[in-house]
Structure 1
Amino acid sequence: MTAAPETTLDAAPRGALPRIATLSERRRAVFGAAIGTTIEWYDFLLYASAAALVFNRVFFPKADPLTGAMLAFTTYALGFLARPLGAVVFGHFGDRTGRKKLLMASLMLMGGSTFAIGLLPTYAGAGMLAPILLTFMRLLQGIGVGGEWGGAMLMAAEYAEAPRRGFWCGVVQAGGAVGNLLATAILAGFAAGLSEHDFLAWGWRIPFLFSAALIVVGLWLRSAVAESPVFEAALEEAEGAHAAPIVQVLKTKGSRVALGACLKLAENISYYVVTAFAMTYLTEVLHLPRSVALNGVLAGGVAGAASMPLWAALSDRVGRRPVYIAGAVGLSLWVFAFFPLVRTGSPLVIAGATFLAVLIHSAMNGPQGAFIAELFPTRVRYSGASLCYQLPAIVGGSFAPIIAIGLLKATGSTVPISAYVATACAISFVAALLARETKGKTFSEIDAAG
């Protein structure tokens, strides 16, 4: 019990005397961050599953199946385009006023917009107004999740002891996988238990409305978490925050923002190809039941939730770079086997292929939180880490399913799609080679190094 507070003290900037965090405070901070992340990613990724299986039919019913899916994924992409805006706004205030307040605000924004989607009229009831309202709610979702990741990850990173920072950040990262697992499981349950008519008429709405209950739980848990002691000490030592943290981080650490964004790119693109696009491919091209597609994503969710903390813990032992490189190389190879396995049409093979894809993918996603947080000094960490995580969404996750559908329509083959993912993996591989190794370093050492 005595060693835990000392590690938090050591993690503070030199010359500062932070509030000493107890072991129970540390666990509460990590648990609160992880649960909140689970809820927010439930909201955000629920949309991805619904875009693949529902929205093309209820919001874009006049288009052919693949074109309708592309239109649905276009509204889905707008959420990713809004994420950098959320990163800028929440990063600015998070580096000026603290992590906790912004975490509460992002949770309310995300939950409110998700709940509202469950109340929207469809195209049959409101015509073009329906997809316009859907698009607006998706933009609000994107802003909310754009601010969420940086705050949640930094609460875990700045409370964690340096030798185990990777693991605790990996637990928070796994919250996203649990959120996807929860969203897909609930959607799959309604899809399996209802007729297609009832599911498209009203069943798809229930998972979105359920978000209201989750938000109440998330706010209650996060209200009990105190502000990061490392952040408080950094402000005290520097006698205040930067007036414009975003400008400061781009001016002084712009190369690290670019490096972190390149680290994120392959993880971002590959995940949405093997989950969101794969669901469309299975249902609209291979004409397999929705349940087969959803069960495949469920298998991936299990792989991600279980393996991310383990990959992250391994990065505490052998380093962030080797684990990340292994994930990038492994996925660049596996993606060429993934689609031939999916084309077998076997539910078990499809689930196994997705499980392995996300398992390998998690070698990047698991250590990512600590790896990116450790790129930046404390006073601009929220802004810098948020930009690294959200900027790739503009060219990565936002357009990945759309690009994949476009490549499939143009060539009739999945090989170009696999090559697209492998190219992104090559970029992240180079970024990991260029990044400095930071495992086990205290934030005082990172701050001193600049």
Structure 2
Amino acid sequence: MSPPHRDGAVTPDDIAVGVVVGRASEYFDFFVYGLASVLVFPALFFPGQPPLQALLASFTVFALAFIARPLGTLGGMAVQRRFGRGAKLTLAMFGLGTATCTMALLPGTAEWSGAVMLLAACRLLQGLGIGASWDGLPSLLAMNAPAHRRGWYAMLGQIGAPVGFGLAAALYAYLWTHLSAEDFLGWGWRFPFFVAFALNVVALFARLQLVLDDDYADALRQNELEPCDLRELLQSGGGRTLLIGAFAALASFALVHLVTVFPLSWLSLSSPRELGELLWLQVAGALVAAAVMPLSGWLADRIGRRTTLGTLSVAIGMFGLVSPFLLDGGAAGQNLFFLLGFALFGLSYGQAAGAVASAFAARLRYLGAALSADLAWLVGAACAPVVVLYLSAHHGLGAVSLYLLSGMAGTLAALGIHKTLAK
């Protein structure tokens, strides 16, 4: 990828390339681990426990990265202030790659009792790396997008989510259906982790080439996309905007794991359907999400991002109400659950990034946008699989409804407060 040199001009399309490349590799890595938490880790790291308990333990480790992510963001900002953006990105991707490769080489608990502890440490390192990898390009894209096409350009940075998930699910589906159970648990599951490492290396060089280019560096400086101190952010009134930003897209973040990771775990316990069939069904769902995501950009540019997020949060809440009946409705109901769920995933997540980032003062936006995303993942998605699986197993699938309705309520409240403050 050659960086642009247009007499100092950096266009939104140029920036979008860097955003899509970086986010697609991150999401692939993200979902490779998420799917392994259902398909591999319960049997490999928690073999002595009943299936439900093993899944809950696996999802508890899964949540660790989201706890570490805000710390990674703050640590990365400190590194950038002292050594520069390139050094921060390199360190972040090195940590992320080290964690991913180490996971791929881990033996099971039956071979080494310390395997779970090292898995947890690697998961924490992944969270730190993802948090520290914030490069500011999404914010730069939002600030340089034409006023009448901001929804469209916001969507471009998010399309990596369904693409990354679809690739991860397809790879696992192929391995699951073409390998014996022994070979899959022995070595097959490791291959996607090595692919994730290779993609991260390619993405690192692509992103470094962009952010270190003089045109991009000038654009980032001119838009004041440099790290500030957390104390300055909080003392300058950014704390309230930070919380509003974390909750503004809560419904969408709550939905992410409830159509990707959770249903796979629930159906593995309660349905006779083959996991390979469910994985291919999710690949089809990812294609649906990617296909409808551009519609979210078109919609946001016509009725506004705030109205789009609010409307889709209500749709997610309504989907939550029917989800128990669909998941408990046999193959036809489950197929419809995935079709509707992934369609809503694509529509809502397309506008989930930086929903209120423009409300931050210019010097606070770089850190504010990063931490808002971290907190949205932490509050909305981190514990979704373990909480909903536990509640569903003990109290029924109404837990899915409650979780998605709570996400809808959080989004509507945050958007309402944001509108009041903006007046």
What TM-score do you get using the length of structure 2 for normalisation? 0.89
Is the 2:251–2:316 Cα contact (8 Å) retained in structure 1? no
1:251 aligns with 2:235: yes
3-state SS of paired residue (1:124)? coil
Note the C-alpha offset of 1:63.
Answer: 0.4
C-alpha distance 73-403 of structure 1, shift in aligned 2 (>3 A)? same
Note the C-alpha offset of 1:149.
Answer: 5.3
Q: What residue is the counterpart of 1:305 in the other structure? A: 290
- Pick from 319, 324, 328 the counterpart of residue 343 of structure 1: 328
Q: What residue is the counterpart of 2:44 in the other structure? A: 58
- State the one-letter code of the partner of 1:232: R
1:21 aligns with 2:28: no
CA distance in 2, matches of 1:140, 1:339: 35
3-state SS of paired residue (1:282)? helix
Is the 2:28–2:167 Cα contact (8 Å) retained in structure 1? yes
Q: What residue is the counterpart of 1:9 in the other structure? A: none
CA distance in 2, matches of 1:396, 1:371: 15
CA distance in 1, matches of 2:79, 2:419: 28
1:262 aligns with 2:250: no
Q: What residue is the counterpart of 2:377 in the other structure? A: 393
Note the C-alpha offset of 1:424.
Answer: 1.7
Note the C-alpha offset of 1:333.
Answer: 0.5
1:41 aligns with 2:30: no
3-state SS of paired residue (1:125)? coil
Note the C-alpha offset of 1:53.
Answer: 1.5
Is the 2:324–2:400 Cα contact (8 Å) retained in structure 1? no
CA distance in 2, matches of 1:106, 1:161: 31
Moved more, 258-267 or 354-363: 354-363
For residues 274-311 of structure 1, give each alpha carbon's deviation from its aligned partner in whole angstroms, at most 9, with x where no partner exists: 22111101111224211133123323322332223320
Note the C-alpha offset of 1:20.
Answer: 4.0
Note the C-alpha offset of 1:100.
Answer: 5.7
Q: What residue is the counterpart of 2:159 in the other structure? A: 174
For residues 231-260 of structure 1, give each alpha carbon's deviation from its aligned partner in whole angstroms, at most 9, with x where no partner exists: 31245xxxx967x43221222211100101
CA distance in 2, matches of 1:36, 1:56: 30
3-state SS of paired residue (1:63)? coil
Q: Which runs of at least 4 in structure 1 moved beyond 6 Å after TM superposition?
A: 95-98
Moved more, 152-161 or 135-144: 152-161
Moved more, 181-190 or 332-341: 332-341
1:146 aligns with 2:93: no
CA distance in 1, matches of 2:262, 2:165: 15
Q: What residue is the counterpart of 1:233 in the other structure? A: 222
3-state SS of paired residue (1:299)? helix
For residues 407-442 of structure 1, give each alpha carbon's deviation from its aligned partner in whole angstroms, at most 9, with x where no partner exists: 12321x10132112211211111212332499xxxx
Note the C-alpha offset of 1:33.
Answer: 1.6
Note the C-alpha offset of 1:75.
Answer: 0.5
1:375 aligns with 2:359: yes
Is the 2:353–2:373 Cα contact (8 Å) retained in structure 1? no
C-alpha distance 401-92 of structure 1, shift in aligned 2 (>3 A)? same
CA distance in 1, matches of 2:326, 2:19: 36
Note the C-alpha offset of 1:95.
Answer: 7.4
Q: How does 1:1-400 map to 2 (within 5 A)?
A: 20-23=8-11, 26-92=12-78, 102-127=88-113, 129-148=114-133, 151-225=136-210, 226=213, 227-235=216-224, 244-252=228-236, 253-346=238-331, 349-400=333-384
C-alpha distance 99-358 of structure 1, shift in aligned 2 (>3 A)? farther
- State the one-letter code of the partner of 1:409: A
Note the C-alpha offset of 1:230.
Answer: 4.0
CA distance in 2, matches of 1:197, 1:70: 23
C-alpha distance 231-422 of structure 1, shift in aligned 2 (>3 A)? same
Note the C-alpha offset of 1:370.
Answer: 4.4
- State the one-letter code of the partner of 2:343: L
CA distance in 2, matches of 1:95, 1:373: 21
For residues 342-372 of structure 1, give each alpha carbon's deviation from its aligned partner in whole angstroms, at most 9, with x where no partner exists: 32331x6534322311222333321222423
Is the 2:100–2:122 Cα contact (8 Å) retained in structure 1? yes
CA distance in 2, matches of 1:274, 1:232: 39
Q: Give the paired residue count.
A: 413
CA distance in 2, matches of 1:248, 1:135: 33
- State the one-letter code of the partner of 1:53: L
Is the 1:296–1:350 Cα contact (8 Å) retained in structure 2? no
- Pick from 403, 407, 418 the counterpart of residue 420 of structure 1: 403
Is the 1:152–1:172 Cα contact (8 Å) retained in structure 2? no
Note the C-alpha offset of 1:322.
Answer: 0.9
C-alpha distance 184-308 of structure 1, shift in aligned 2 (>3 A)? same
For residues 19-63 of structure 1, give each alpha carbon's deviation from its aligned partner in whole angstroms, at most 9, with x where no partner exists: 84244xx43321122111111111112111110111000010000
Note the C-alpha offset of 1:173.
Answer: 0.8
3-state SS of paired residue (2:381)? coil
- State the one-letter code of the partner of 1:67: Q
Note the C-alpha offset of 1:379.
Answer: 1.9
C-alpha distance 150-363 of structure 1, shift in aligned 2 (>3 A)? farther
CA distance in 2, matches of 1:36, 1:402: 28
- State the one-letter code of the partner of 1:317: R
CA distance in 2, matches of 1:211, 1:189: 16
CA distance in 1, matches of 2:24, 2:148: 25
Is the 1:99–1:155 Cα contact (8 Å) retained in structure 2? no
CA distance in 2, matches of 1:108, 1:309: 32
CA distance in 2, matches of 1:307, 1:228: 33
CA distance in 1, matches of 2:380, 2:129: 18
C-alpha distance 316-395 of structure 1, shift in aligned 2 (>3 A)? same
CA distance in 1, matches of 2:63, 2:266: 18
C-alpha distance 202-58 of structure 1, shift in aligned 2 (>3 A)? same
CA distance in 1, matches of 2:356, 2:185: 40
C-alpha distance 39-75 of structure 1, shift in aligned 2 (>3 A)? same
What TM-score do you get using the length of structure 1 for normalisation? 0.84
**Unaligned stretches of 5+ residues in structure 2:** none
CA distance in 1, matches of 2:360, 2:87: 21
Note the C-alpha offset of 1:104.
Answer: 4.5
Moved more, 81-90 or 329-338: 81-90
CA distance in 1, matches of 2:134, 2:301: 21
Q: What residue is the counterpart of 1:432 in the other structure? A: 415
C-alpha distance 90-169 of structure 1, shift in aligned 2 (>3 A)? farther
Note the C-alpha offset of 1:116.
Answer: 1.8
CA distance in 2, matches of 1:156, 1:130: 41
